[in-house]
Amino acid sequence: MTDRRSSTAESPEPPEPGDGSSQPPEILAELRVRRLVVVDEHDRPCVVAEVTHGQATVRLLVPDAAPGERVSIELFARPGDRTDPEDEPGRGVGLQLCADGNLVASIDAWDMGGHWTAAQFAEESGRPDASPTGHPG
């Protein structure tokens, strides 16, 4: 990967956002990591993208919120292992809303042996609602 700080006159820095240029910044290389944290101007995490045990997750966080005000949105994709009957919950995708680390609401879709089912959860009900396919979460 090219270190953008070592640019020379032959390879000028791309324009800064908001400088009036219509050209997007040039991407010189691909970054391959298992975890990426994007921070705000105060070095507080705002976006966390990672892969853990094959599950890809992107989490958007409100940086440095006070206790009781910490919220996040998490998008995930889990490959699962269709050959392993012990692999629970298996292959799936979903979106989760969290407050202070607790799940508040979610919508998920899971591969149940070749057909996909959806599940919804909202904190008010305290239980997953039946999905349109009739499969409880």
- Whether residue 100 is contained in a domain is answered as yes
Total number of domains in the chain? 1
- Whether residue 40 is contained in a domain is answered as no
Whole-number pLDDT of residue 92: 92
pLDDT tens-place string over residues 96-133:
999 888 899 999 998 887 888 898 988 764 444 433 32
Whole-number pLDDT of residue 19: 56
- Whether residue 28 is contained in a domain is answered as no
- Whether residue 84 is contained in a domain is answered as yes
Burial environment of residue 3 by CB neighbours within 10 A (0 to 12, 13 to 18, 19 or more):
exposed
- Whether residue 82 is contained in a domain is answered as yes
Instruction: Classify residue 115 by its DSSP letter.
Output: S
For the chain, strand residue ranges (E) read: 35-39, 45-52, 55-61, 71-78, 92-99, 102-111, 116-122, 128-129
Q: What is the C-alpha separation between 49 and 51, in angstroms, rounded?
A: 7
Whole-number pLDDT of residue 131: 32
Residues constituting the chain: 137
pTM (two decimals): 0.62
What are the residues whose beta carbons fall under 8 Å from the beta carbon of 7, sequence distance 6 or more?
A: 13
b/e burial code for range 88-120 (CB count within 10 A of at least 16 → b): eebbbbbebbbeeeeeeebbbbbbeeeeebbbe
- Whether residue 45 is contained in a domain is answered as no
- Whether residue 44 is contained in a domain is answered as no
- Whether residue 110 is contained in a domain is answered as yes
Average pLDDT taken over every residue of the chain: 74
Range of the domain at 81: 63-129
Given a cut of 70, whether residue 58 has pLDDT beyond it is yes
